Homo-oligomer: A and B are copies of this chain.
Amino acid sequence: MEHKAIERLMFDYSYHLDMNHPDELAALFVEDCEVSYAPNFGATGMEAYKKTLEGIGTFFSGTSHHNSNISIDFISPAEAEVRSIVLAVHRYVKERPDGILYGQYFDRVVKIDGQWKFKRRELRTTMTTDYHVRASNPIGRAA
């Protein structure tokens, strides 16, 4: 079922991130992907995206990415918008408290040759605790 396949894409992303598998991560994106983790922290296109993955292995001693609340709206049988949330816990190689990110993902996913991939990933930050990334895309919570 397509729902399950799209959820699996998101779970594989987190799994390979937590396992420090940058090549497997990159393979989950289309060549002309757009990724925004924060203003001035993201990528346009695969080559740029791969650069953002450098350092996962040396900067963190461990991470755990918990995806939930996955809400899928199909635009066509081969394209969908996905809203979800993430709890991401980062343990640093450096001596410092774990960095916690509470965020919302807004993704555009496409099915190509039978495989769902990320065409666009945008992380919006609900809030953080002791997290090393200071800038963030806001969720736009109503005042």
Hey, which bits of chain A sit against chain B, CB under 8 A? 1, 3-4, 8, 10-12, 14-15, 18-21, 57, 61-72, 83, 85, 87, 89, 91, 98, 102, 104, 126-127, 129, 139-143
Contact = CB atoms under 8 A, between A and B. Distances in A.
Given A20-B141, A71-B8, A71-B11, A127 B91 contact: yes
Given A19-B139, A64-B102, A64-B126, 4 more contacts: A1-B3, A15-B83, A66-B85, A89-B102
Nearest to A21: B142
A67 B71 CA distance: 12
Each complex incorporates copies of this chain amounting to: 3
Given A4-B3, A142-B21, A62 B14 contact: no
Can you list the 3 inter-chain pairs with the closest CB atoms, starting with the nearest? Answer: A64-B102, A11-B69, A20-B142
B64 A66 contact: no
Given A11-B71, A20-B142, A139-B19, A87 B62 contact: no
Residue in A21, A104, A127 with the greatest tally of chain B CB atoms within 10 Å:
A127
A87 B127 CA distance: 15
A104 to B, nearest CB: 8
